[in-house]
Amino acid sequence: MLAFIIRRLLQSVLVMLTVALVAFGLFRYIGDPINNMVGQEATLVEREQLRAQLGLNDPVPVQFARFVANAAQGQFGMSYRMARPVADVIFERLPATLELALISGIGALVVGIALGVYTALRRDGWLSQIIMSLSLIGVSLPTFLIGILLIYVFAVQLQVLPAFGRGEVVRLGWWSTGLLTESGLKSLIMPAITLGLYQLTLIMRLVRAEMLEVLRTDYIKFARARGLSDRSVHFRHALKNTLLPVITITGLQIGSIIAFAIITETVFQWPGVGLLFITAVQFVDVPVMAAYLVLIALIFVVINLIVDLLYFAVDPRLRVKRSGRGS
């Protein structure tokens, strides 16, 4: 188990280094950073001076090593556009994105599993058929369209929910939360639905398919043949066995929720890192883009690590050493 974790950690470091290389590449190949930093009137001498000052004349490997060392300490330099440390800008925006991702992720998981189990158990019921048909819409409609439709119905026509922004926020140390104010919660509803709908339908369809698969297995038949109650057969025996693939997919999806909050944040002008990234792309704010890239990679790596550890918690076949076999 420990060896497994160490191996996984080493792999994670490798992944992070690769991503860092790509992020570093951004600096070198997306235009000349000096051009972006200084005004039109800067002289060649001034440019050269800045270049030396920023270490851009050093050999590439040295620059990369410096980038990695700084990145490891959370230093990604100054944002070209805002002229503030990138780390500060990102950390300021991070709570908004994490809250949005967390709420929509939990919502998608809870509702997705519940609906998945329901539609698997009542396979031929009319409500299941309706849910399954609706889920096709969730899978096939693009995120921005769902967001715009929601805004049109609830903000423009019914005028019950705000169309954009995060509402009032409360500061808890460096973390700013919108979960404690009414306007904050109201503002969260539509973005969370928009962001989570796809994941919800995905998890639901996955749970349904896995559940149908498990319900056909011998140990479920044997559990029924022993006279166990339906509740025990369905939830104690069947649901737990469907969870491994669900954990895998959910882990990957939580990563995507954070990474692809970009679209939702743009539609709802949600002040998170996704919106920050889009603005950075428009202004070729390379340090912000690089930092975002590394941050998202880190989140994916951490989530994957957690998923691997959850396997151990759920599946005893991985946990217990293969002792006492034979005869």
- Residues at the contact surface with other proteins, assessed by CB under 8 A: 217-219, 221-230, 232, 236-237, 240-241, 314-317, 320, 322-327
- Note whether 190 and 155 are within 8 A (CB): yes
CA 220 vs. chain centroid, Å, equals 35
Indicate the residue among 151 and 214 with the shorter CB distance to other proteins.
214
Closer to other proteins at the Cβ: 171 or 226?
226
What token pair was written down for 57?
A: 């004349």
Least distance (Å) from other proteins to the CB of residue 130? 21
* Token representation of residue 225: 């043949």
What is the smallest separation between the CB atom of 230 and other proteins, expressed in angstroms? 8
- Strand, helix or coil at 177? strand
At 240, give phi and psi (nearest 5°): -60, -35
Q: What share of the chain is helix, strand, coil (3-state, %, to 5)?
A: 75, 0, 25
- 3-state SS, residue 171: strand
Query: What are the φ/ψ torsions at residue 209 (nearest 5 degrees)?
Result: -65, -45
Q: For other proteins, which is the closer residue by CB, 61 or 227? A: 227
**Rounded Cα distance, 158 and 64, in Å:** 53
Q: Which two tokens stand for residue 312?
A: 């151990």
Closer residue to other proteins, CB minimum distance, 11 or 217: 217
Q: Which of 56, 220 has the CB closer to other proteins?
A: 220
Rounded to a whole number of angstroms, the minimum distance from the CB of residue 240 to other proteins is 5
Least distance to other proteins from the beta carbon of 235, Å? 12
CB of 128 to other proteins, least distance (A): 15
* Least distance from other proteins to the Cβ atom of residue 271, Å: 43
**Residue 65 near residue 146 (C-beta atoms within 8 A):** no
Residue 85 β-bridge partners: 78
Q: Nearer to other proteins by C-beta: 51 or 224?
A: 224
